[in-house]
């Protein structure tokens, strides 16, 4: 994706991004690191890593809590070239940035500082934040007009120029009336970045090294400082699960809008939940109350009917599924496949035109083109220790309520009778029946009913006698 302002700097290199992700997030009340809590199926840290890379970061460094293998794994998955830097002590944001000094030494690339718990910042905004550096600014800060600025650092200006950012604890009463608030993110021009960071002190109420003090240092040197505006909603930092819910709603609104503008119809958009990586083709229709987890790709002209849940699934053109369909774990539906109500597919490929219209489970399976799977059919793929595969040939017909005990192969054009339990391969064009022999006894149903009614009446009479005797 091409982003205005992204890419290479004046020295021919891209910028360096340092992402601060070492916070414990105690207000989340969770054993999971805060930055690994998910929005739209992707961790907050993942959203930041993806966005800064899309914005043109050539080098990426992430500052983490020591010993967090789970955070390191997420970084390796979404930003394989990123360096990871532990921060043993928490002495402020400038101290955190300098924990990644090894990634900054020897480079005059511009520096962009991002936060792993500020997941709504877009790649376009990161690019806008860096843009003033190429116009001569030494520092650029992201700021918003807060409806209620309490708790935020204030961006202080004089004659239209930035002179400082003041943390609320250190602000005067007059400074606290300022609504222009610091979003936390900052970009520093490469030739000045390390010099400014290294001179930040801790003469403040918290005795911490504030990244924001780089502004006052730059102003004192006569260097230009720019303010880049951003909407307050985009600058939201997530500190608890209430804010996580707000962020989820914001991301879902973005994803729904992008889906609609991209050619998909969402019948009731507010009820559809998309994944951050969901891909929707043209003329896709999504009915109400559908959920898309990670790894879903939908081809052109597909219909996803109400109350369906998809995760790690690929649908090719013209697929029609639902209502109440569940796709997971490597489900692949080729062109024209139809799945009806209450069908679950897992690690299975259904080739073009195959159908399973209702009440079916197909796991660890391959279903040939044009095959028909009857209601109530299941592939018995797990023996308690290992998974086994079922292969159903092209044009095969599986009757209702059939159980296919894997590993087993049903040949092309074969027919499996309703109610069969199939444990052996069925050759192509063969008919397989595997059910107990039916026995019919004339009048036996009437006799059985009379016997059961008499027994019930006898029990009721006995209870009545016992009740009368106890009185």
Q: Is the pLDDT of residue 4 over 80?
A: no
What is the three-class DSSP state of 460?
helix
CA distances (Å), 392 to each of 206, 344, 405, 421, in order?
68, 16, 12, 15
What pTM value is reported for the model?
A: 0.87
According to the CATH classification, is domain 263-432 in 2.160.10.10?
yes
Q: Which of the pair, 85 or 205, is modelled with greater confidence?
A: 85
Q: Compute CA 352 distance to the chain's CA centroid, rounded to the nearest angstrom.
A: 29
Q: For residue range 338-387, list pLDDT tens digits in order.
A: 999 999 999 999 999 999 999 999 999 999 999 999 999 999 999 999 99
Q: For residue range 247-291, list pLDDT tens digits in order.
A: 999 999 999 999 999 999 999 999 999 999 999 999 999 999 999
Alpha helices in 262-368 (DSSP H): none
- Which residue shows structure tokens 């896709």? 284
Q: How confident is the model at residue 5 (pLDDT cuts 50, 70, 90)?
A: very low
Q: Which residues are catalytic?
A: 358
CATH for the 16-229 domain, from 3.40.50.720, 3.40.50.300, 1.10.10.10, 3.90.550.10: 3.90.550.10
Of the candidates 74, 37, 79, the residue with the CA atom closest to the CA atom of residue 57:
79
pLDDT value for 88: 87
Q: Is the pLDDT of residue 149 over 90?
A: no
Q: Is the pLDDT of residue 235 over 90?
A: yes
pLDDT value for 13: 52
Number of other residues whose CB lies within 10 A of the CB of residue 107: 17
The residue ranges of every structural domain in the chain are 16-229, 263-432
Mean pLDDT of 76-94: 93
CA distances (Å), 413 to each of 398, 407, 409, in order?
10, 19, 12
Q: How confident is the model at residue 412 (pLDDT cuts 50, 70, 90)?
A: very high
Q: How confident is the model at residue 91 (pLDDT cuts 50, 70, 90)?
A: very high
Bond into 407 cis (ω within 30): yes
């Amino acid at each position: 994706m091409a982003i205005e302002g992204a890419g290479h700097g004046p020295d021919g290199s891209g910028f360096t991004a340092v992402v601060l992700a070492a916070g414990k997030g105690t207000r989340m009340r969770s054993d999971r690191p805060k930055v690994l809590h998910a929005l739209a199926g992707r961790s907050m840290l993942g959203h930041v890593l993806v966005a800064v890379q899309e914005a043109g970061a050539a080098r990426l460094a992430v500052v983490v809590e020591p010993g967090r293998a789970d955070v390191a794994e997420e970084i390796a998955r979404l930003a394989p070239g990123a360096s990871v830097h532990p921060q043993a002590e928490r002495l402020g944001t400038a101290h955190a940035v300098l924990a990644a000094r090894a990634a900054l030494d020897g480079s005059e690339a511009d520096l962009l500082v991002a936060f792993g718990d500020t997941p709504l910042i877009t790649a376009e905004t990161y690019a806008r934040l860096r843009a003033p550096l190429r116009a001569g600014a030494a520092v650029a800060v992201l700021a918003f007009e807060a409806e209620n600025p309490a708790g935020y650092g204030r961006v202080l200006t004089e004659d239209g120029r930035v002179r400082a950012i003041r943390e609320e604890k250190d602000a005067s009463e007059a400074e606290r009336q300022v609504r222009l608030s610091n979003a936390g993110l900052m970009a520093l021009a490469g030739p000045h970045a390390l010099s400014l960071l290294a001179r930040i002190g801790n003469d403040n109420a918290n005795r911490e090294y504030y990244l924001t003090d780089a502004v006052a240092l730059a102003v004192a040197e006569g260097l230009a400082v720019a303010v880049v505006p951003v909407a307050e909603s985009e600058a939201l930092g997530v500190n608890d699960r209430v804010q996580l819910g707000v962020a989820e709603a914001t991301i879902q609104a973005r994803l729904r809008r992008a889906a609609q503008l991209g050619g998909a119809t969402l019948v009731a958009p507010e009820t559809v939940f998309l994944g951050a990586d969901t891909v929707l083709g043209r003329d896709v229709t999504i009915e109400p109350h559908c959920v898309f987890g990670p790894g879903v790709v939908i081809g052109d002209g597909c219909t996803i009917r109400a109350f369906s849940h998809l995760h790690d699934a690929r649908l090719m053109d013209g697929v029609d599924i639902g209502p109440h369909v569940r796709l997971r774990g490597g489900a692949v539906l080729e062109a024209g496949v139809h799945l009806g109500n209450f069908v679950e597919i897992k690690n299975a490929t259904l080739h073009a035109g195959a159908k399973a219209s209702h009440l079916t489970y197909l796991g660890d399976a391959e279903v040939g083109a044009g095959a028909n799977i009857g209601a109530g059919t299941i592939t018995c793929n797990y023996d308690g220790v290992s998974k086994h595969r079922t292969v159903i040939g092209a044009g095969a017909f599986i009757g209702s309520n059939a159980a296919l005990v894997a590993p087993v192969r049903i040949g092309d054009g074969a027919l499996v009778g309703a109610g069969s339990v199939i444990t052996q391969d069925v050759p192509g064009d063969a008919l397989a029946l595997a059910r107990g022999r039916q026995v019919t006894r004339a009048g036996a149903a009437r006799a059985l009913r009379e016997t059961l009614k008499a027994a019930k009446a006898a029990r009721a009479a006995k209870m009545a006698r016992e009740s009368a005797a106890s009185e």
